[in-house]
Structure 1
Amino acid sequence: MLNINEHFALSRRTTLESRTMGIVEQYNGTTGAERRFPQPSPNGLATNRKLVGVEGKWYDVTSFVHRHPGGEIINYFINKDATDVFRSVHPKGGEHLIKYLKAVGSYTNSVTEDPFNRDMRELYNRLQKEGYFKPDLRWYAKKYAVCLVLLSLVITFVAGFQSSWAHGLAGVFLALFWQQNGMLMHDILHHQAFDNQRLTYLAGLVVAPLSFGMSANWWRDEHWVHHVLLNSVSYEDNFVDPQMWEPVWAQNTKLFPLFQTHIQALLIKIQHIIFIPVCMIAGRFGIIIDSMKRETDLGTWAAFCVHWIAMALLLSLLPNWEERCLFYGVAMLGEGVLHIQLLISHYSKDMYQKEEMHDMEFYRYQVMQNINITNPWWMDWFHGGLNFHIEHHCFPRVPRHCMRQVGSMIQELCRKHDVPYDTTGFFNAVWRTLVGLHQAQKLFKLDPR
């Protein structure tokens, strides 16, 4: 992904002319699930300190911010209640971390808590008590065994057959190998296989740079920001959800100030046409290049080298460049489906400015901003847990194979509190994304800039 600071530096916070506002409001209309619950404030405490609220207590993190393993994301929760975010992203819910911090004050919410959020917190406690957050190494070891079977099929069809159809089929198996490793990377870095950070790092090396060809560290850092600041922008802070921003299309009106060049304007006019081709053709190379540009870890670079040496050896087994292009081209296009899977659960949802997002209760916001993909259980392997996006964003550490059970619990609470639970088929989710891109490009034409 490109650095957006240059785009923000060129742009100012703008609004469409009044003649377009009716259309924008219709496009960005609320779902009825929006409810604002203003954040508590650390009144009476030192204003020159950086405080984070967790479970009713203020913690002074001034000297810890620069050492935070999760990076600068902690700065977006200074002087805010971060209870649900804190518990969702840290191994063991952060219980082993909070004891090392000293509380400097306490707080209560100034308004009655959202009943839905209260019930979801109770569900979190229930899941914790019943062991749903316990990492399941055995289950994920079986999933990686499937990846090894796919890799053996790739080698067999490349080295053991001379026909083009066999080499094309080997490309299909390689695409599945990449896709499944990418999904394993996602789960492992969410601490679904290990609580231990070192083991998580080592497993990430295997499934990401070694097997898939991209950096696990780069992806992890962006993905955690995506989780805690989902579908949000902040013009003042030069911020946008990094996994919801691409320089070649604008799926929402809140992204319009980021686009300044004539080339970008041209691409936005045809974004609903180029979305699928770009995902499938450029998706893999895009994330590989982006992750390499930002990677400094020597272990990751060693894994990169092994990956590309192994890929070169595999290609050398094919008789000519036509067969090599066929094999790698099929694999690249097949793996491109993963990049579509990654986006359709969010792209047709609205975006919010960061402060607006902070004023919405965590669980209600997560349910509101995600789409689940409906499919039979025997297709769960293909979607790799991305079909349970609502459950995953509410409880990121729940292992993939528990999602169906957790989903039924969340649906029950959504029915109880009349919170929309958005689920649809894969192809309809793609269609909704394309329709949203088409609507956005029509609004972009009306932008007075």
Structure 2
Amino acid sequence: MGIVEQYNGTTGAERRFPQPSPNGLATNRKLVGVEGKWYDVTSFVHRHPGGEIINYFINKDATDVFRSVHPKGGEHLIKYLKAVGSYTNSVTEDPFNRDMRELYNRLQKEGYFKPDLRWYAKKYAVCLVLLSLVITFVAGFQSSWAHGLAGVFLALFWQQNGMLMHDILHHQAFDNQRLTYLAGLVVAPLSFGMSANWWRDEHWVHHVLLNSVSYEDNFVDPQMWEPVWAQNTKLFPLFQTHIQALLIKIQHIIFIPVCMIAGRFGIIIDSMKRETDLGTWAAFCVHWIAMALLLSLLPNWEERCLFYGVAMLGEGVLHIQLLISHYSKDMYQKEEMHDMEFYRYQVMQNINITNPWWMDWFHGGLNFHIEHHCFPRVPRHCMRQVGSMIQELCRKHDVPYDTTGFFNAVWRTLVGLHQAQKLFKLDPR
């Protein structure tokens, strides 16, 4: 990985750190570099629990990525692999990246990566309180205001379960894969109505190939791509239809309404189309049966539409929260990204949301996007402490630490979409 100086979408001088090459080793084998050693994963690629993402790091140093995405930093996995060679970087490591690696080791030593089941159990208890309020206001009151308020509570129930799904699938509650899967069933398809497996696979790709595109294999960071808008010029070649061109011209106008109105249905439909796990489908069925029973308690269709409409619009805020930390940042081609230093790139490509501590529950940790992308396994309630440590290193190495308020982040996103649509009109393609 290498260095790129960037802030608010503007790119300054770049200093690349070429990837090490497995020279002298069998070129017909699939090798991955971790901590100075090459590991032969040829026979393992098709069995990789994380899916095809491993293919993007063949013949590359994947040390920081490997440690960030695996439970316990992958220490329990690497001992089962046999090294077939070694390598050293051909240039001096970026001092900021070196200090961030030292910070990773410090956090590991001091227990910051230790899953905290007790804390997350308390958070789910809050979700159960919200659900009880939904049932109480639906079944116990006849007025429209009560049913509208029940919709607000349901929106918060969905939103908070979505945040919990994010944390749990990052192994912040369990190191054990089976327990993580079972907890994911509860908070995602059962409570939220979407697939945890689909989301996990897309989200890990998003983490390790953040804001990247590849025209050769038609790849784009899956959580930074929607077929209805293009927030960056590097996405323009991926849009081919007249309808898409029309939508891009008004994307700064439709962004918030689409997130609010279509966000929930879009993510549910996408996850269902790709889901094959029977346990997840069983949870889907329970979710929708429970939702049908809840709606049946309301006296007429007007009240049902009010209740579900308020819930859907309220939960739409989550889809805005998911995008504003990245959309106004630049994008890079995949090979460019591979030649940039991991930690500097993560800091450069994220925006934090400034808010008082008592609003952390609402943002669900997404307000600490810089910290989360650097150290995804750190539990949510440790993010403020870790953030102070990262800010200190950013000041030391003069690395921009981008943080702003929620509404300003939304505004920056809308401005970026508006600027992109003007450039799209000039694109001869």
TM class, shorter-length: over 0.9
The C-alpha deviation readout for 1:376-406, integer Å capped at 9, x for no partner, is 0000000000000000000000000000000
Structure 2 match to 1:170: 150
Report the Cα distance in structure 2 between the residues aligned to 1:258 and 1:145, rounded to whole angstroms: 43
Secondary structure at the aligned position of 1:251 is classed as coil
User: For residues 3 and 188 of structure 2, what CA distance do their matches in structure 1 show?
Assistant: 43
Contact 1:58 / 1:107 at 8 angstroms: preserved in 2?
A: yes
Contact 1:33/1:419 (<8 A) preserved: no
CA contact (8 A) 1:33 1:368 kept: no
Deviation at 1:238, TM superposition (A): 1.6
Over residues 151-200 of structure 1, what are the superposed CA-to-partner deviations in whole Å (9 max), with x where a residue is unaligned?
00000000000000000000000000000000000000000000000000
Give yes or no for contact 1:140–1:193 (8 Å, CA) kept in 2.
yes
Contact 2:213 2:332 in 1 (8 A): yes
CA deviation digits over 1:94-130, x for unaligned, max 9? 0000001000000000110000000000000000000
**Partner Cα distance (1:28, 1:390) in 2:** 14
Distance 1:170 1:129 in 2: 45
1:61 and 1:24, CA in 2 relative to 1: closer, same or farther beyond 3 A?
closer
Q: CA deviation at 1:35?
A: 3.3
Change (3 A) 1:33 1:305: farther
Residue 184 of structure 1 aligns with which residue? 164
Corresponding position of 1:446: 426
Deviations 1:34-72 (A, max 9, x none): 432111111111111100000000000001000000000
Contact preservation (8 Å) 1:24, 1:253: no
Residue 314 of structure 1: which of 294, 317, 320 is its match? 294
Of the three residues 90, 111, 114, the one matched with 1:131 is 111
Q: 3-state DSSP class of the match of 2:3?
A: helix
Q: Which 10-residue stretch deviates more, 32-41 or 397-406?
A: 32-41
* Alpha-carbon distance, 1:28 to partner: 9.2
1:396 and 2:376 correspond: yes
Give the Å deviation of 1:24.
Answer: 18
Does the 8 A contact of 2:5 with 2:11 survive in 1?
Answer: no
Cα separation, partners in 2 of 1:28 and 1:387, compared to 1, 3 Å? closer
Change (3 A) 1:125 1:25: closer
DSSP-derived class of the 1:31 partner: strand
CA contact (8 A) 1:33 1:420 kept: no
Aligned partners of 2:151 and 2:309 also within 8 Å: yes
CA contact (8 A) 1:280 1:334 kept: yes
How far the C-alpha of 1:32 sits from its partner, in A, is 4.0
SS in 1 for 2:55: helix
The aligned residue for residue 406 of structure 2 is 426
- Cα shift at 1:332: 0.0
TM-score by length of 1: 0.94
Say if 2:2 and 2:342, in contact at 8 Å, map to a contact too: no
* Cα separation, partners in 2 of 1:37 and 1:26, compared to 1, 3 Å: closer
Deviation at 1:237, TM superposition (A): 1.6
| Distance (whole Å) between structure 2 residues aligned to residue 162 and residue 311 of structure 1 | 18
Q: Answer yes or no: is the 8 Å Cα contact 2:165–2:184 preserved in 1.
A: yes
What does 1:239-318 align with in structure 2 at a 5 Å threshold?
Answer: 239-318=219-298
- Structure 1 distance, partners of 2:4, 2:12, is 17
Give the distance between the partners of 1:298 and 1:340, measured in 2 at CA.
Answer: 31
- Is 2:415 the counterpart of 1:435? yes
When residues 33 and 431 of structure 1 are mapped into structure 2, their CA distance, relative to the original with a 3 A threshold, is farther
Aligned-pair identity in percent equals 100
Unpaired stretches in structure 1, ≥5 consecutive residues: 1-20
SS of aligned partner of 1:233: strand
| Deviation readout 1:354-397 (Å, 9 max, x if unpaired) | 00000000000000000000000000000000000000000000
Q: Any idea what SS the aligned residue of 1:33 has?
A: strand
State the distance in 2 between where 1:116 and 1:102 align. 30
Contact preservation (8 Å) 2:147, 2:306: yes
After superposition, the C-alpha distances for 1:185-226 in whole angstroms (9 at most, x for unaligned) are 000000000000000000000000000000000000000000
Q: Secondary structure at the match of 2:13?
A: coil
Q: CA RMSD in A?
A: 2.6
1:82 aligned to 62, 68, 83, which one?
62
Distance 1:33 1:67, change over 3 A: farther
Matching of residue 151 in structure 1 with residue 147 in structure 2: no
- Report if the CA contact (8 A) 2:7-2:402 is conserved: no
Stretches of structure 2 that go unaligned for 5 or more consecutive residues are: none
In 2 relative to 1, CA 447–178 (structure 1 residues): closer, same or farther, beyond 3 Å? same
Shift of 1:30: 3.8
**For residues 210 and 160 of structure 1, do their structure 2 counterparts lie closer, same or farther at Cα, with a shift above 3 Å needed?**
same
1:31 Cα shift? 4.1
Residues 26/93 of structure 1: CA separation in 2 closer, same or farther (3 Å cut):
closer
8 Å contact kept, 1:57–1:105: yes
Q: Tell me, yes or no, if structure 1 residue 371 matches structure 2 residue 351.
A: yes
CA distance in 2, matches of 1:114, 1:94: 23
Give CA-to-partner distance per residue, 1:211-270, whole Å, 9 cap, x none.
000000000000000000000000112210000000000000000001011100000000
- What is the CA distance between 1:329 and its match in structure 2? 0.0
Secondary structure of the residue aligned to 2:262 is: helix
* Residues 290-347 of structure 1: CA deviation (Å, up to 9, x unaligned): 0000000000000000000000000000000000000000000000000000000000
